[in-house]
């Protein structure tokens, strides 16, 4: 993996105008100005191919899956399972049974905590979590630790927001059972060396769970190359719909894990006398009717991403990041948080004398959408002595001209609040 900001080719290989034409929302106005959408790390926009998948499903073959014998049920089941195969290719997983559909990254991590964690962690054990984590990769472990009595140890970061690998190595003991780390930090954009971290974890007999919510939209992910034991991502950050995400888990681990939610679809047989036996993977972890249309639409999103190409997307976003970094660096009193050499398309900053929320509200009046606040990463922000930052985050459809509009709007807004 290389630095997105420096690996960008001089001539971008993306046809950004053609890409933008796929996104109807990008032609809308906000407060009388063309929308400049730079809140992609919160949720990315959705191409018409994904929107069309909802129409096709509800207008053509809406039915419950895996249950009916009628034509509509067959068609819906085939499309749903088709996405599982698309996800398999997207992550380079070995088998589709290693892929569980969830509501998103948050639910995927909660699944691992409540199933694998509850069955395998006990008092005295240790779980390593990085300082860079989103709350969804902290709180499930804290909840479980309060119940089971294991210890959470924090992998530190340096002043650039880069994980300290020597300190990481030094945290391992014979009681370390799990490492939970994000692939890309949502608050700072740091790309973590998860493959090296997996090697170290495995050498100590620990598993590694990788939160890929912010990696999958920007770079090709190969779960087998990383050797991740678990890998999670959300549909809505990778040009897909909300309400759907994926948990990848190695088959032998998932096989040995107990179900975490009970209901229809996840059983083989149910009897008051003999008890319940469970379905094979992946259905053992998919209780109840899933988000069928969303899963099918996620498949379209991943095909769209593959069609554009993640290498080209990553390179283009690197160019956007470099340009944005250069533009805002000249603003008096502006400090960028997160200056890792290996960084995805996220620009987090604070400005002396101007609160992040004020900047966010005022810049919206100029048609520019950025996120302000703690980005669900309070331990990270607290470590850097702030309670909020402004965050601009980039996607394939953003342009250099939009970055200029953003930078000019930012300067104007700062002038208003100071």
Residues making contact with ligand C6P (CB under 6 A): 41-42, 104-106, 134, 136, 182, 186, 211, 213-214, 234, 371, 375-376
Helix (H) or strand (E) holding 253: helix 251-256
**Pick 206 or 392: Cβ nearer ligand C6P:** 392
Contact status, residue 128 vs residue 171, Cβ threshold 8 Å: yes
**What string of DSSP letters covers 286-348?**
--S---HHHHHHHHHHHHHHHHH-HHHHHHHHHHHHHHHHHHHHTSTTEEEE---SSB-SEEE
Q: Which of 155, 220, 224, 156 is nearest to 195 (CA)?
A: 224
| Min CB(213)–ligand C6P separation in Å | 4
| Min CB(216)–ligand C6P separation in Å | 10
| Min CB(370)–ligand C6P separation in Å | 11
| Min CB(345)–ligand C6P separation in Å | 13
At residue 151, φ and ψ (nearest 5 deg) are -105, 140
**Pick 100 or 279: Cβ nearer ligand C6P:** 100
User: Within 13 A of 353's CA, how many CA atoms are on the CB side?
Assistant: 9
**Pick 268 or 361: Cβ nearer ligand C6P:** 361
Which candidate in 293, 376, 388, 413 is catalytic? 376
Contact status, residue 300 vs residue 50, Cβ threshold 8 Å: yes
**Pick 211 or 342: Cβ nearer ligand C6P:** 211
At residue 403, φ and ψ (nearest 5 deg) are -65, -40
Residue 376 among the catalytic residues: yes
Contact status, residue 292 vs residue 316, Cβ threshold 8 Å: no
**Pick 77 or 398: Cβ nearer ligand C6P:** 398
| Min CB(112)–ligand C6P separation in Å | 13
| Min CB(31)–ligand C6P separation in Å | 22
The set of residues, in sequence order, having a beta carbon less than 8 Å from that of 347 and lying 6+ positions away, is 189, 321, 324, 325, 328, 336, 391, 392, 393, 394
Contact status, residue 126 vs residue 148, Cβ threshold 8 Å: no
**Pick 202 or 374: Cβ nearer ligand C6P:** 374
| Residues belonging to the active site | 376
């Amino acid at each position: 993996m290389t630095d997105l900001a420096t690996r960008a080719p001089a001539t971008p290989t993306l046809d950004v105008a053609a890409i933008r034409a796929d996104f109807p929302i990008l032609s809308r106005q906000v407060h009388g100005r063309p929308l400049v959408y730079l809140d992609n790390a919160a949720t990315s926009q959705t191409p018409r191919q994904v929107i069309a998948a909802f129409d096709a499903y509800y207008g053509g073959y809406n039915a419950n899956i895996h249950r009916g014998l009628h034509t509509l049920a067959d068609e819906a089941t085939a499309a749903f399972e088709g996405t599982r195969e698309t996800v398999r290719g997207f992550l380079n997983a070995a088998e589709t049974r290693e892929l569980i559909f969830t509501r998103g990254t948050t639910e995927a991590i909660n699944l691992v905590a409540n199933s694998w964690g509850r069955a395998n962690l006990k008092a005295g054990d240790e779980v390593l979590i990085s300082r860079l984590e989103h709350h969804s990769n902290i709180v499930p472990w804290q909840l479980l630790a309060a119940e089971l009595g294991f210890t959470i140890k924090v992998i530190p970061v340096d002043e650039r927001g880069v994980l300290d690998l020597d300190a990481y190595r030094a945290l391992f003991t014979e009681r370390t059972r799990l490492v939970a780390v994000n692939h890309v930090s949502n608050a700072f954009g740091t790309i973590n060396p998860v493959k090296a971290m997996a090697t170290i974890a495995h050498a100590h007999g620990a598993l590694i769970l990788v939160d890929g919510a912010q990696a999958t939209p920007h770079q090709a992910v190969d779960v087998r190359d990383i050797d991740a034991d678990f890998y999670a991502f959300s549909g809505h950050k990778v040009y897909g719909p909300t309400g759907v995400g994926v948990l990848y888990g190695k088959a032998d681990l998932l096989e040995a894990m107990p179900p975490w939610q009970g209901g229809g679809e996840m059983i083989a047989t149910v009897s008051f006398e003999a008890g319940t036996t469970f379905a094979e993977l992946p259905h053992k972890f998919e209780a109840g009717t899933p988000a069928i249309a969303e899963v099918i639409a996620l498949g379209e999103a991943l095909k769209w991403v593959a069609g554009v190409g993640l290498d080209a997307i990553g390179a283009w976003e690197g160019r956007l990041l470099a340009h944005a970094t250069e533009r805002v660096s000249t603003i008096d009193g502006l400090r960028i948080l997160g200056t890792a050499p290996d960084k995805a398309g996220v620009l987090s900053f604070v400005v002396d004398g101007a609160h992040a929320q004020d900047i966010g509200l005022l810049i919206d009046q100029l048609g520019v959408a950025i996120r302000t606040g703690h980005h669900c990463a309070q331990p990270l922000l607290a470590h850097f002595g702030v309670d909020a930052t402004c965050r601009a985050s980039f996607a394939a459809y953003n342009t250099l001209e939009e970055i200029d509009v953003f930078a000019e709007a930012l300067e104007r807004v700062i002038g208003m609040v100071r």
